[in-house]
RNA sequence: GCCUCGAUGGCGGAAUUGGUAGACGCGCUGGAUUCAAAAUCCAGUUCUUUCGGGAGUGUGGGUUCGAUUCCCACUCGAGGUACCA
């Protein structure tokens, strides 16, 4: 009775498939358990042994949970849209669907061979229209939603429309584009349908906008931030440039805070949480506005737009005055300011602001309305005031005058009047971007340390504020920066560069003039693209200031900033900062934000690094959008007509006029009457050439969705994978709810694992899903690296020409010796043990020429399948594999030349495989070098699981992958190690065999046997719960070794043993179970129950240590008291020998554990 | 630079609350079996030693009766991230 794993495994794999053993039902009396793997992209290369690692772990867990009485769902599918299939299509013309289908077949065959307990009835493929129908559906849901910040959740866009028509958008607190302006209900109702749509687009959770994108010209597509590594594309390593394009985006930023908060609720690896936290990048601080000062006489900017600026040439004199007036308002001013400041009127007002040469009481710059509150004194200067009003009105301002009494008497009436005036004012274009610089800072507490400002070269204000004197320099700098690629700019962070614009800003607290610079250390894409530079408190500002000789005022108490900036928040005490003096960082932050808000030039703000996610790709092999364009505006196709199926195209490349590949499709237009995809030729003429005919046929979107679209909610679809009517039914989702265990690689930390949490939260908000975090526990399996093998080519130099030069490979140990000899000779001129000259002579290379025999060796990758477990190279195989080396000579481990030919009839096994190692080659061996590298085709270190299954079986593969080391750790694969687990399985099999027959006895078990069984149950149970799969494999080995030693053949021991091994080695367990007389699959049997009484011991072998070092052992009963133990130990003759007559200072006795004698 | 993780025999790794360091396996050495090989079985395998023992978990310190485990400083390695104001 041999352990015929090939037959056993094939039989049981057939059985499981036929009986649908692992099909999970959507209802059960048992508690549910959902085990999920990250589904694979089916690449053409197939699986290597690194891929199934996580699947084996999750499969063990799933099988274990079935034994523990759970209704387990363990689904699998394919993330089958993607670039490689498309690139293959571009090269060969083969439709990606065909390649994908073929690859999936290979994957499935390989997966089936490993014996996973997947429920294949739930299989999904992201490229299957029946699946991507739901990806499109989710997209539509996002389009039809906006994010309400007050409710802190997504809400239907229809709600928004209703509110707009009733009260405009002033009370809406929603996540939206930055350029949204305030409008009234009246405005809204007067807008055309198109205008309305444009505005709504600014609120939708997926929206179309002109965005700066990462464009990869070689790939012809945009890339998401997480698809770029070190400034080049992750796939292919092509350069990436910044480009503006009309793109779909996902408003993931709306969920930034909730994505952060949710991390506390889930049991995910800390490093992964950390990288998500970092990626979201929350920072608390303040937005602060710095007014820009007008140019000194003679240095005006040529740009006319500069007229936005308020104040004039004598303004710096007046500013001090204005500051004073702000600090000491009249009673009436204070009362009115209280109302204006709080934005009761939906407009931002400034207090005591400079307009031209005047200081006005209040001004709303965007609506150009000035409010003056006059005291008695104005009664005497009516004329003067009228003149002033006239000047201001000439500047386009509306001036409202009130008397002190009015403001104090009937404030509401005053406010109403202002409001009326505000509503009459034309729609603003925002608050005049030319008049101030907004910055975001996390250190507003250091605002008194600001000595200059820096704008990103791309900042929109740069051209407006640059003085004519600085114009040339600034333009040259901006041009130079824009030329530099992202990569260059990143690589070179040390060089400090920048240019002064000639303009100055005004410090809002001190009123000092602050020079405005531009510099490429400020990024256009973060914050506002401008910084207030505090050189004493920021390293980059410090370096910039030092480099250009700018002021470095010190605002820290007792800190020396002569050599570097002081950045430690914890010990910060602010000085030289007016009202902030003496305050700690925390207190100063609070205080300064309060002051900034009071004074109205800024507010406390939380900023996120997270950007909205670009959702368009210029690719063919992806989900098409359910979108058509009418008058250039996107329209959703009704969900009931989904899926919108990917059209056929002739070519998979972008079109000649630069449109995405879908631009090649001829049948790619939407008929709104028939609700179907029709030929492009029918498209409404107005869409084509400005005609006004409209037949209801419009062009469809040409972009496709990115790779992460299909993977962002696939785990929910598994719950109800075959439901044609719903994404997931309420019933199914309320039963399965969420993933209990998710296993996959950590490389998805800031991609898939973040986007999917975002979609989950959105679908939760919509009431489609019952939970807002989809995976309770996540484990990142480590990578399995390859152990590459090397042969070393001797680059001896004998000046022969390359053609006649003999190729010599030197064995690793010999090469090491030669290299060691060289250094010995160089150092001491010692005798040579291995003489390379002699080696060369043996290989018949002429010695007569001048040679440099101590030369170098070139490692050459050798296919790992040509190397045996002792690192010996199959030379003949190597020569066959690399014919260019067919005449090479090999110097072995002992410095012998290995015979180039095989002795006949040897080294070939029955299957005609060459096995010629060592002995056959003149008594010497060629030993290769080994190095751990990533598994890759080009390194010839890829190991295919099929070959392992063929030679050792799937159970061996499963056990070995687990045995390699801790799941989460990366570890090298070395096929030789598998013999250990293979012989373990054979030993296990033998336990059930007597005299070559399958047979177990029904005898009562001994105490020893029960002890072995129960300690194994306990340990394996603990190990699986802790995902410590490697240690349970050793536990099995120990158990089998012990039972073999005990010659145990008893059913009561061997039955439970088969069950506890089943999750790891299911095939052999099923076979044993069947042979034990059971007819049901072992996978459904209850796990044996651990009984502690079998482990109770009566005595213990105490380690006796002296000063903490164990010196000998002593068997003592466990019921002995401390005193008795001490007495017994002291009486032992070895104790006396150790002490050598000394009296111990102290004796520590820990009953049941240890005895330690100090002295 | 920052964040995270790690460092234990020739190799992968074990030691769950501080208590016998090196479980289990690979590889290696010797032996048995065999005509021979494969397979199997047995013994040994951290280093060192004057065979009593001694040293030893990246380095240096500390806490403790006792440290691979806790604390401090450092070195090296892996992964992530990067001018984020």
CATH number at residue A995: 1.10.730.10
Distance CA A1063, CA A11 (A): 17
Q: Which of residues 597-636 of A touch strand B (CB under 7 A)?
A: 607, 609
What region, left, alpha or beta, does residue A1097 occupy, with left being phi > 0 and alpha being psi -120 to 50 degrees? beta
A477 and A444, same structural domain?
yes
**Any atom of strand B under 7 A from CB of A1099?**
no
Q: How confident is the model at residue A432 (pLDDT cuts 50, 70, 90)?
A: very low
A388 and A353, same structural domain?
yes
What is the rounded average pLDDT for all residues in chain A? Answer: 85
In DSSP terms, which residues pair with A364 in a beta bridge? Answer: A369
Distance CA A596, CA A602 (A): 5
Render pLDDT for A267-314 as a digit per residue (tens, 0 to 9): 998 888 888 998 998 988 999 999 888 765 455 554 433 333 444 445
In DSSP terms, which residues pair with A360 in a beta bridge? Answer: A353
Distance A490 CA to B6 C1' (A): 29
Q: Which nucleotide is nearest to A270 (CA to C1')?
A: B4
Q: Which of residues 1007-1046 of A touch strand B (CB under 7 A)?
A: 1019, 1022-1023, 1026, 1028, 1030-1031, 1033-1034, 1037-1038, 1041
DSSP state of A1089: P
Q: Which nucleotide is nearest to A524 (CA to C1')?
A: B84
A594 and A454, same structural domain?
yes
Residues 6+ apart with CB under 8 A from A1062: A63, A67, A1069, A1070, A1073, A1082, A1083
A1052 and A984, same structural domain?
yes
Distance CA A868, CA A862 (A): 12
Q: Which nucleotide is nearest to A980 (CA to C1')?
A: B25
Query: In a 3-state reduction of DSSP, which class is residue A747?
Result: helix
Count: domains in chain A: 6
For A152-274, strand residue ranges (E) read 153-156, 174-175, 206-216, 221-223, 228-229, 232-233, 241-250
Sole residue written with tokens 């005193």: A1123
Render pLDDT for A487-521 as a digit per residue (tens, 0 to 9): 566 566 677 889 999 889 989 998 888 999 999 88
A986 and A859, same structural domain?
no
Sole residue written with tokens 């993607």: A82
Render pLDDT for A1089-1103 as a digit per residue (tens, 0 to 9): 999 999 888 888 888
**Any atom of strand B under 7 A from CB of A432?**
no
Give the domain-ending residue among A385, A402, A424. Answer: A424
A1069 and A1119, same structural domain?
no
Distance CA A364, CA A383 (A): 24
In DSSP terms, which residues pair with A1050 in a beta bridge? Answer: A1001
Q: Which nucleotide is nearest to A538 (CA to C1')?
A: B85
Q: Within a domain: residue A910?
A: yes
- The pLDDT score that the predictor gives to residue A62 is 97
A510 and A442, same structural domain?
yes
What region, left, alpha or beta, does residue A574 occupy, with left being phi > 0 and alpha being psi -120 to 50 degrees? beta
A1082 and A1135, same structural domain?
no
- The pLDDT score that the predictor gives to residue A911 is 33
pTM over 0.90: no
Q: Which nucleotide is nearest to A228 (CA to C1')?
A: B81
Render pLDDT for A839-848 as a digit per residue (tens, 0 to 9): 666 665 554 4
Longest dimension (CA), chain A: 125
Burial of A655 (0-12, 13-18, 19+ CB in 10 A): middle
Q: Within a domain: residue A125?
A: no
- For residue A1063, pLDDT beyond 70: yes
- For residue A242, pLDDT beyond 90: no
Distance A670 CA to B47 C1' (A): 79
Give the domain-ending residue among A663, A686, A701. Answer: A701
Distance CA A1071, CA A349 (A): 82
Query: Within 13 A of A258's CA, how many CA atoms are on the CB side?
Result: 22
A474 and A440, same structural domain?
yes
Q: Within a domain: residue A1127?
A: yes
Distance CA A840, CA A819 (A): 15
Sole residue written with tokens 């800003």: A505
Distance CA A224, CA A768 (A): 27
**Any atom of strand B under 7 A from CB of A87?**
no
**Any atom of strand B under 7 A from CB of A105?**
no
- The pLDDT score that the predictor gives to residue A426 is 45
Q: Determine how many CB atoms are found less than 10 A away from the CB of residue A97.
A: 15
Distance A726 CA to B7 C1' (A): 52
Q: Which nucleotide is nearest to A608 (CA to C1')?
A: B84
**Any atom of strand B under 7 A from CB of A281?**
yes
Tokens of A446: 């250091």
Q: Which of residues 865-924 of A touch strand B (CB under 7 A)?
A: 869-870
For A700-783, strand residue ranges (E) read 741-744, 778-780
**Any atom of strand B under 7 A from CB of A446?**
no
Distance CA A927, CA A811 (A): 5
Q: Tell me, what's the ipTM?
A: 0.94
Q: Within a domain: residue A155?
A: no
Distance A1092 CA to B49 C1' (A): 45
A970 and A889, same structural domain?
no
Q: Determine how many CB atoms are found less than 10 A away from the CB of residue A796.
A: 23
Distances (CA, A) of A732 to A93, A158, A250, A908: 41, 29, 28, 58
Peptide bond into A643 cis (omega under 30): yes
Highest mean pLDDT, choosing among A608-622, A874-888, A912-926 = A608-622
Tokens of A591: 């205080």
Distance CA A291, CA A699 (A): 47
> Directed axis angle between helix A1066-1075 and helix A978-991, to 10°?
10
- Closest of A1010, A864, A1016, A1014 to residue A942, by C-alpha: A864
Distance CA A135, CA A705 (A): 9
Distance CA A418, CA A339 (A): 11
Distance CA A502, CA A452 (A): 12
Burial of A303 (0-12, 13-18, 19+ CB in 10 A): middle
- The pLDDT score that the predictor gives to residue A301 is 53
Render pLDDT for A781-836 as a digit per residue (tens, 0 to 9): 988 888 888 888 887 766 555 666 678 888 887 777 777 666 656 555 545 555 66
Q: Determine how many CB atoms are found less than 10 A away from the CB of residue A399.
A: 21
* Residue of higher predicted confidence among A299 and A39: A39
Distance A1029 CA to B65 C1' (A): 36
Q: Which residue is nearest to nucleotide B15 (CA to C1')?
A: A1031
Distance CA A20, CA A877 (A): 44
φ/ψ of residue A11, rounded to 5 = -60, -50
Which domain CATH number covers A1133?
A: 3.10.20.590
A469 and A578, same structural domain?
yes
Give the residue-averaged pLDDT of A1054-1059. Answer: 96
Give the residue-averaged pLDDT of A1072-1101. Answer: 92
Q: Which of residues 919-978 of A touch strand B (CB under 7 A)?
A: 963-966, 969-972, 974, 976-977
Q: Which nucleotide is nearest to A934 (CA to C1')?
A: B78
Residue A867 CA, chain-centre distance (Å), reads: 37
Q: Which residue is nearest to nucleotide B20 (CA to C1')?
A: A1103
Q: Which residue is nearest to nucleotide B56 (CA to C1')?
A: A1109
- The pLDDT score that the predictor gives to residue A527 is 85
> CB of A143 within 8 A of CB of A205?
yes
Distance A987 CA to B39 C1' (A): 13
Q: Which of residues 571-590 of A touch strand B (CB under 7 A)?
A: none
Render pLDDT for A97-150 as a digit per residue (tens, 0 to 9): 999 999 999 999 999 999 999 999 999 999 999 999 999 999 999 999 999 999
Q: Which residues of A770-786 are buried (b: 16+ CB within 10 A; e: fewer)?
A: ebbbbbbebbbbbbbbb
Distance A1139 CA to B62 C1' (A): 28
Distance A880 CA to B12 C1' (A): 32
Distance A1150 CA to B72 C1' (A): 30
3-class SS string, A137-183 = HHHHHHHCEEEECCCCEEEEHHHHHHHHHHHCCCCCCEECCCCCCCC
* Residue of higher predicted confidence among A379 and A1043: A1043
A1154 and A1089, same structural domain?
no
Q: Which nucleotides of B are covered by protein (CB under 7 A)?
A: 3-5, 11-16, 19-21, 23-28, 39-41, 54-55, 65-67, 78-85
Q: Which of residues 464-503 of A touch strand B (CB under 7 A)?
A: 489-490, 492-493
Distance A971 CA to B77 C1' (A): 14
Distance A1132 CA to B52 C1' (A): 17
Residue A1046: domain span: 945-1095
> CB of A1014 within 8 A of CB of A1060?
no
Q: Within a domain: residue A1069?
A: yes
- The pLDDT score that the predictor gives to residue A292 is 87
Render pLDDT for A433-487 as a digit per residue (tens, 0 to 9): 447 899 999 999 999 999 999 999 888 888 888 888 888 999 999 888 876 655 5
- The pLDDT score that the predictor gives to residue A32 is 97
Q: Within a domain: residue A123?
A: no
Distance A1144 CA to B54 C1' (A): 21
Query: In a 3-state reduction of DSSP, which class is residue A320?
Result: helix
Cα angle value A957/A871/A894 (rounded, 5°): 165
* For chain A, percent of residues with pLDDT exceeding 90: 46
Distance CA A884, CA A875 (A): 13
- For residue A208, pLDDT beyond 80: yes
Q: Which of residues 496-535 of A touch strand B (CB under 7 A)?
A: 520-529, 531-532, 534
> CB of A944 within 8 A of CB of A48?
yes
Which domain CATH number covers A315?
A: 3.40.960.10
Q: Within a domain: residue A151?
A: no
- For residue A919, pLDDT beyond 60: no
φ/ψ of residue A520, rounded to 5 = -85, 0
Q: Within a domain: residue A1082?
A: yes
Distance CA A466, CA A299 (A): 9
In DSSP terms, which residues pair with A1146 in a beta bridge? Answer: A1158
Distance CA A142, CA A712 (A): 13
For A881-978, strand residue ranges (E) read 889-891, 929-933, 971-972
Distance CA A477, CA A67 (A): 69
- Closest of A588, A671, A690 to residue A285, by C-alpha: A588
> CB of A747 within 8 A of CB of A784?
no
Distance CA A2, CA A181 (A): 81
Distance A561 CA to B2 C1' (A): 22
Q: Which residue is nearest to nucleotide B40 (CA to C1')?
A: A983
Distance CA A457, CA A454 (A): 9
Q: How confident is the model at residue A913 (pLDDT cuts 50, 70, 90)?
A: very low
Q: Determine how many CB atoms are found less than 10 A away from the CB of residue A286.
A: 23
Task: Kindly state the helix (H) or strand (E) to which residue A439 belongs, with its residue range.
Answer: strand A436-441
Give the domain-ending residue among A1072, A1095, A1118. Answer: A1095
**Any atom of strand B under 7 A from CB of A95?**
no
- The pLDDT score that the predictor gives to residue A431 is 35
* Residue of higher predicted confidence among A386 and A597: A597
**Any atom of strand B under 7 A from CB of A1118?**
no
φ/ψ of residue A933, rounded to 5 = -140, 170
Q: Which of residues 285-344 of A touch strand B (CB under 7 A)?
A: 285
Q: Which nucleotide is nearest to A975 (CA to C1')?
A: B26
């Amino acid at each position: 009775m041999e352990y015929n794993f090939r037959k056993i495994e094939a039989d049981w794999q057939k059985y499981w498939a036929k009986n649908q053993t692992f099909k999970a039902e959507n209802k059960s009396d048992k508690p549910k358990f959902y085990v999920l793997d990250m589904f694979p992209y089916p690449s053409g290369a197939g699986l290597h042994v690194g891929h199934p690692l996580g699947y084996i772990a999750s499969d063990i867990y799933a099988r274990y949970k079935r034994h523990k009485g759970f209704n387990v769902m363990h689904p699998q599918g394919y993330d089958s849209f993607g670039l490689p299939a498309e690139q293959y299509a571009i090269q060969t013309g083969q439709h990606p669907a065909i390649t994908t289908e073929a690859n999936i077949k290979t994957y499935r065959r390989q997966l089936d061979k490993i014996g996973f307990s997947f429920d294949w009835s739930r299989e999904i493929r992201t490229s299957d229209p029946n699946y991507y129908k739901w990806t499109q559906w989710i997209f539509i849901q996002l389009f039809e939603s906006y994010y309400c910040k007050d409710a802190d959740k997504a809400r239907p866009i229809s709600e928004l429309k209703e509110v707009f028509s009733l009260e405009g958008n002033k009370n809406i607190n929603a996540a939206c584009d930055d350029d949204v302006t305030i409008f009234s209900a009246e405005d809204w109702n007067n807008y055309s349908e198109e205008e309305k749509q444009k505005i709504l687009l600014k609120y939708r959770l997926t929206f179309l906008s002109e965005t700066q994108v990462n464009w990869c010209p070689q790939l012809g597509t945009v890339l998401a931030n997480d698809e770029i590594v070190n400034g080049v594309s992750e796939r292919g390593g092509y350069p990436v440039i910044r480009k503006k394009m009309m793109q779909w985006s996902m408003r993931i930023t709306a969920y930034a805070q909730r994505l952060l908060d949710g991390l506390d609720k889930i049991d995910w690896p800390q490093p992964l949480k950390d990288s998500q936290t970092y990626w979201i990048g929350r920072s608390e601080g303040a937005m602060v506005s710095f007014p820009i000062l007008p140019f000194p006489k003679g240095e005006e900017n040529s740009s006319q737009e500069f007229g936005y600026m308020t104040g004039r040439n004598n303004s710096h004199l007046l500013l001090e005055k204005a500051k004073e007036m702000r600090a000491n308002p009249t009673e009436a001013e204070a009362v009115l300011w209280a109302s204006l400041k709080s934005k009761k009127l939906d407009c931002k007002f400034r207090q005591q602001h400079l307009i031209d040469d005047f200081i006005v009481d209040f001004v709303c710059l965007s609506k150009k309305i000035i409010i003056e509150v006059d005291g008695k004194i104005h009664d005497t200067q009516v004329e003067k005031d009228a003149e002033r009003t006239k000047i201001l009105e000439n500047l386009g301002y509306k001036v409202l005058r009130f008397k002190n009494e009015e403001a104090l008497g009937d404030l509401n009436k005053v406010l109403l009047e202002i409001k009326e005036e505000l509503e009459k004012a034309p729609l603003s274009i925002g608050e005049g971007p030319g008049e101030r610089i907004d910055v975001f800072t996390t250190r507003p507490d250091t605002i008194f340390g600001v000595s200059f400002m820096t704008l990103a070269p791309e900042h929109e204000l740069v051209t407006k504020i640059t003085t004519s004197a600085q114009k040339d320099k600034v333009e040259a700098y901006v041009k130079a920066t824009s030329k530099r690629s992202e990569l260059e700019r990143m690589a070179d962070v040390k060089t400090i560069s920048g240019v002064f614009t000639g303009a100055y800003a005004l410090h809002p607290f001190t009123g000092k003039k602050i020079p405005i610079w531009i510099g490429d250390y400020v990024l256009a894409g973060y914050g506002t693209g401008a910084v207030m530079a505090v050189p004493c408190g920021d390293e980059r500002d410090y370096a910039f200031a030092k480099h250009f000789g700018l002021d470095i005022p010190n605002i820290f108490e007792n800190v020396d900033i002569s050599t570097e900036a002081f950045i430690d928040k914890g010990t910060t005490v602010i000085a030289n900062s007016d009202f902030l003096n003496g305050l700690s960082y925390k207190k100063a932050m609070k205080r300064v934000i309060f002051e900034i808000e009071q004074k109205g030039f800024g507010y406390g703000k939380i900023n996120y690094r997270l950007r909205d996610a670009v959702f368009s790709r210029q690719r063919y092999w992806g989900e098409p959008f359910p979108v058509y364009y009418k008058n250039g505006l996107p329209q959703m196709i009704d969900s009931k007509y989904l899926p919108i199926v990917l059209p056929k195209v002739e070519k998979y490349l972008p079109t000649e006029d630069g449109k995405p590949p879908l631009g090649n499709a001829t049948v790619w237009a939407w008929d709104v009457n028939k609700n179907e995809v029709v030929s492009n030729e029918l498209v409404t003429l107005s869409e084509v050439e400005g005609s006004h005919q409209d037949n209801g046929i419009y062009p469809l979107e040409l972009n496709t969705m990115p790779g992460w679209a299909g993977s962002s909610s696939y785990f929910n679809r598994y719950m109800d994978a075959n439901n044609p009517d719903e994404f997931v039914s309420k019933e199914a989702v309320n039963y399965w709810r969420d993933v209990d265990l998710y296993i996959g690689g950590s490389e998805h930390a800031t991609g898939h694992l973040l986007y999917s949490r975002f979609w989950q939260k959105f679908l939760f908000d919509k009431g489609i899903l019952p939970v807002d975090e989809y995976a309770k526990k996540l484990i990142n399996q480590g990578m399995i690296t390859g152990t590459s093998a090397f042969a070393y080519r001797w680059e001896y130099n004998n000046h022969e020409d390359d053609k006649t030069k003999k190729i010599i490979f030197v064995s690793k140990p010999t090469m090491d010796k030669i290299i060691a000899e060289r250094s010995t000779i160089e150092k001491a001129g010692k005798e040579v043990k291995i003489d390379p000259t002699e080696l060369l002579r043996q290989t018949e290379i002429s010695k007569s020429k001048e040679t440099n025999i101590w030369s170098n060796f070139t490692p050459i990758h050798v296919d790992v399948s040509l190397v045996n477990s002792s690192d010996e190279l199959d030379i003949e195989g190597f020569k066959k594999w690399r014919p260019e080396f067919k005449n090479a000579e090999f110097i072995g481990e002992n410095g012998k030349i290995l015979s180039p030919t095989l002795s006949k009839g040897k080294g070939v096994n029955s299957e005609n495989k060459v096995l010629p190692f060592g002995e056959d080659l003149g008594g010497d061996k060629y030993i290769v070098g080994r190095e751990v590298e990533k598994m890759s085709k080009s390194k010839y270190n890829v190991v295919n699981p099929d070959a392992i299954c063929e030679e050792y079986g799937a159970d061996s593969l499963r056990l070995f992958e687990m045995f390699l080391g801790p799941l989460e750790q990366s570890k090298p694969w070395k096929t030789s190690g598998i013999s250990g687990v293979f012989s373990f399985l054979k030993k296990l099999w033998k336990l059930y065999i007597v005299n070559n027959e399958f047979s177990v006895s029904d005898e009562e078990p001994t105490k020893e046997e029960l002890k072995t069984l129960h300690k194994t149950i306990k340990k394996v149970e603990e190990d699986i719960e802790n995902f410590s799969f490697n240690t349970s494999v050793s536990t099995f080995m120990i158990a089998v070794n012990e039972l073999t030693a005990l010659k145990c053949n008893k059913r009561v021991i061997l039955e439970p043993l088969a069950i506890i091994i089943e999750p790891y080695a299911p095939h052999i367990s099923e076979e044993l179970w069947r042979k034990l007389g059971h007819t049901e699959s072992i996978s459904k049997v209850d796990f044996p129950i651990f009984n502690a009484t079998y482990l109770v011991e009566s005595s213990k072998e105490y380690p006796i240590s002296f000063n903490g070092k164990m010196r000998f052992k002593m068997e003592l009963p466990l019921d002995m008291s401390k005193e008795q133990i001490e007495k017994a130990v002291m009486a032992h003759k070895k104790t006396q020998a150790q002490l050598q007559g000394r009296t111990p200072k102290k004796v520590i006795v820990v009953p049941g554990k240890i005895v330690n004698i100090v002295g």
